[in-house]
Amino acid sequence: MKHTISVLVENKFGVLARVAGLFSARGYNIASLAVSETLDPTISYMTIVVDAKDESILEQIEKQLNKLIDVITVTDFTKKEHAERELILLKINCLSKDKAKLEKSLKKYVAKLVCHRADTAIVELVGQQEQIKEALEELGKFGIKELIRTGKIAMAV
């Protein structure tokens, strides 16, 4: 089962390596990771998505995260009401004559055309995982050349 975990940490060098090390030491792959400064510049916020094959190992990782000196709080959103978003940039096959068609498709989602050059369009897309999945299926019809995801960010309600 996929877990979304937020970790509030001291904004210092080495902290990311400490956090990541707890996952890697147990052979756990981090599915996505987003890190940035908060309103308080001495604190960073990490959102980590991890696919836990064994819930007890994940529980141990969460306890170990709490033990790290530079970690302030750990929240597992799995059973907690939260808002989540991810931003995606896509490079899509799109001849000039198809631009209108693409823009029409984009209207169904929180998405917009960032730029268009010759036969290629760059599109930004924001949403929850379900919406993103749906959008990617539709845009796949144009042919996706490249895709970059920021990783999920989540906030408690």
**Nearest-approach distance from CB 26 to another protein, in angstroms:** 11
Pair 19, 46: CB distance under 8 Å: yes
Tokens of 42: 């001495």
Would you tell me how many other CB atoms lie within 10 Å of the CB of residue 42? 9
Stretch 62-91 residues interacting with another protein (CB under 8 A):
63-64, 66-67, 69-72
39 belongs to the binding site for another protein (CB under 8 A): no
Q: Binders of another protein: how many residues, by CB under 8 A?
A: 17
Tokens of 95: 């001849």
Q: How far apart are CA 81 and CA 68, in angstroms?
A: 26
Site string for another protein, 118-157 (x = CB under 8 A): ----------------------------------------
Pair 93, 85: CB distance under 8 Å: no
Which residues bind to another protein, rule: CB under 8 A? Answer: 9-10, 14, 17-18, 21, 25, 59-60, 63-64, 66-67, 69-72
